[in-house]
């Protein structure tokens, strides 16, 4: 019988980087040789729609070629024994492809498009391109279903609600500097066990019951998951 315990996992670009997906915050401050302001803001969309569409079309092509890694598969395996909620800052679909079933995408989804005028019109496009002239059924141009810098994070309230009910809270592959997502760790109850996994030191002072594992996700997550699964089975 499955444990009633709830594990909440906040994941960031570090987990996807190990599958070969470039991160926003590489050392040169660029994303695939573009300034973030030129491809990931609403102002960029207004000033150069073609550049923005091409940029995300390239990201989609890249996503079709990469695969989930050991960390993605391990997190999916947690569902054998726990109620698991993945809250991800990533726009890829690697958690889904690894088998996780309960996922909140805080910053949108690369494999979807939405109307640039009617936010409720969202379409599953998989790895296909969005071209100028591709419109929703109400005639407005389609845009990437991505939360750009400066835009509201619509799933944040639900994510905070879930984080506040965690028995175990894991942070995997995120620098904890992008807000509001970075604040979710502090929503976890004091009594909840917490694990932070990242090769670089994290700003995680003053958080009770926290174990910091300074290692890459693909190396650290599988043994941690094994440990948590064994706890339930014994």
Longest dimension (CA), the chain: 59
Domain housing 163: 1-21+67-107+152-234
Q: What is the pLDDT of residues 141-173, one digit of tens each?
A: 999 999 998 999 999 999 999 999 999 999 999
Query: What pLDDT is recorded for position 95?
Result: 98
Burial of 140 per CB tally in 10 Å (0-12, 13-18, 19+)? middle
Establish whether 107 is a catalytic residue: yes
pTM, full prediction: 0.92
Categorize the per-residue pLDDT at 176 as very low, low, confident or very high, splitting at 50, 70 and 90.
confident
Q: What is the pLDDT of residues 84-104, one digit of tens each?
A: 999 999 999 999 999 999 999
Name the nearest CA neighbour of 95 among 112, 73, 65.
Answer: 73
CA end-to-end span of the chain, whole Å? 12
Same domain? For 74 and 14 the reply is yes
Q: Which of 72, 85, 107, 145 is catalytic?
A: 107
Whether residue 229 contacts residue 81, with contact meaning beta carbons closer than 8 Å, is answered with: yes
Quick one: pLDDT band at residue 30, thresholds 50, 70, 90?
low
* Residues 213, 123 within the same domain: no
Q: What is the pLDDT of residue 10?
A: 96
Based on the domain organization, do 80 and 136 belong to the same domain? Answer: no
CATH code for the domain of 141? 3.30.1600.10
Of 89, 88, 85, 79, the closest CA to residue 102 belongs to: 85
Q: Which carries the bigger pLDDT value, residue 32 or residue 153?
A: 153
Q: pLDDT band for position 183 (50/70/90)?
A: confident
């Amino acid at each position: 019988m499955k444990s009633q315990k709830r594990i909440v996992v906040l994941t960031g670009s570090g987990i996807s980087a190990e599958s070969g997906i470039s991160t926003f915050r590489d050392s040169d401050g660029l994303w695939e040789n573009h300034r973030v302001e030129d491809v990931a803001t609403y102002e960029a969309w207004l000033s150069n729609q073609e550049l923005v569409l091409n940029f995300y079309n390239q990201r989609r092509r890249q996503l079709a070629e990469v695969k989930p890694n050991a960390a993605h598969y391990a997190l999916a395996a947690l569902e054998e024994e726990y109620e698991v909620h993945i809250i991800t800052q990533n726009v890829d679909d690697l958690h889904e492809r690894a088998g996780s079933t309960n996922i909140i995408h805080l910053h949108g989804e690369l494999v979807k498009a939405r109307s640039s005028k009617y936010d409720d019109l969202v379409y599953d496009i998989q790895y296909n391109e969005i071209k100028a002239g591709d419109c929703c059924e109400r005639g407005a141009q389609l845009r990437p279903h991505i939360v750009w810098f400066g835009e509201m994070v619509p799933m944040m309230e639900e994510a905070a609600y879930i984080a506040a009910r965690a028995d175990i809270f894991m942070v995997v592959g995120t620098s904890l500097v992008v807000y509001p997502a970075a604040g979710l760790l502090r929503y976890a109850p004091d009594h909840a066990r917490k694990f932070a996994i990242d090769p670089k030191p994290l700003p995680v002072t003053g958080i009770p019951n926290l174990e910091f594992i300074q290692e890459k996700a693909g190396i650290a997550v599988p043994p941690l998951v094994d440990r948590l699964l064994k706890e339930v089975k014994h």
